[in-house]
């Protein structure tokens, strides 16, 4: 199974910084062979510019969000068909910042996933717990509920990526220990297999997001059930992101 490294630019950078940033990453991929899929998810207004850099190369294009409706009077939204037309292959859905700041529910995420499957987009669906939920030992129950809300989507096992992003570790500089992350990733794989009843779940990629940096990527990727990372701030620095992309290869036992 190929690992996947996803850069989530969030509401960054500026117009003049976009192309040098994307081109720097693309050049770093061509200069050194990588055994991973590498995706950049820029803001919507930069999809075209980044897409031009990605076109025909090893760098792939993703989006940060999508609407569950195919078209219509939804001011400020963007559809799956629009993303496909823009060259996107992936889209992040259910990110904790969308859930917390924009009020997105598990049901919203379910509808968005269904829309992605209809148009051939690979959804990167985010799950994770707050600090208080972890302290109250509710982590696995929270994750289970988020996963169960997606049941009924038969394509999930082989056509999506699950990103575990503990909310308490996003942008805080605090990262889950490798053992903490591995515990939840193993639970996700086991739980998702129970929900879907599919053997294909063994091939589903589960990635970690939460203050991923050059200094912790190696130990994160040593964990057996971690198949990649969702990178925030460090993806805005070419050298940092390339160091993450070219982490030492983990050995599968």
Catalytic residues: 95, 165
Half-sphere exposure of 122 (CA within 13 A, CB side): 21
| Residue among 134, 129, 225 at smallest CA distance from 185 | 225
Q: Are 18 and 241 in contact (CB under 8 A)?
A: no
Q: Angle of helix 178-196 relative to helix 139-148, nearest 10 degrees?
A: 30
- Helices 15-31 and 47-54 sit at what angle, rounded to 10 degrees? 20
| Element containing residue 4 per DSSP (H, E) | strand 4-8
DSSP string, 164-229: E--GGGSSSS----HHHHHHHHHHHHHHHHHHH--GGGGG-EEEEESS--TTTHHHHHTSTT--EE
Q: Regarding beta strands 59-63 and 37-41, do their DSSP bridges make them parallel or antiparallel, or are they unpaired? A: parallel
Q: Measured in whole angstroms, how far is the alpha carbon of residue 152 from the centre of its chain?
A: 21
């Amino acid at each position: 199974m190929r690992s996947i490294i996803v850069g989530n630019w969030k509401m960054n950078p500026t117009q003049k910084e976009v192309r040098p940033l994307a081109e720097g990453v693309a050049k770093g991929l061509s200069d050194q062979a990588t055994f991973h899929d590498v995706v950049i998810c820029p803001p919507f207004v930069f999809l075209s510019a980044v897409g031009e850099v990605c076109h025909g190369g090893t760098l792939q294009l993703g989006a940060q969000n999508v609407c569950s409706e195919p078209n219509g009077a939804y001011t400020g939204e963007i559809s799956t068909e629009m993303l496909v037309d823009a060259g996107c292959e992936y889209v992040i859905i259910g990110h904790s910042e969308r859930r917390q700041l924009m009020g997105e529910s598990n049901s919203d995420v379910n509808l968005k996933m269904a829309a992605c499957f209809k148009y051939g987009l690979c959804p990167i669906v985010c799950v994770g717990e707050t600090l208080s939920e972890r302290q109250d030992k509710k982590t696995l129950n929270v994750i289970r509920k988020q996963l169960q809300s997606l049941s009924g989507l038969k394509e999930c096992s082989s056509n999506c990526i699950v990103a575990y992003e503990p909310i308490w570790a996003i942008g805080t500089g605090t990262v889950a220990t490798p053992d903490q992350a591995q515990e939840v990733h193993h639970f996700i794989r086991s739980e998702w297999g129970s929900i879907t009843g599919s053997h294909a779940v063994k091939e589903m990629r589960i990635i970690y997001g939460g203050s991923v940096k050059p200094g912790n990527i190696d130990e994160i990727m040593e964990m057996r059930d971690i198949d990649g990372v969702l990178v925030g701030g460090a993806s805005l620095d070419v050298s940092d992101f390339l160091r993450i992309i070219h982490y030492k290869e983990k050995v599968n036992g």
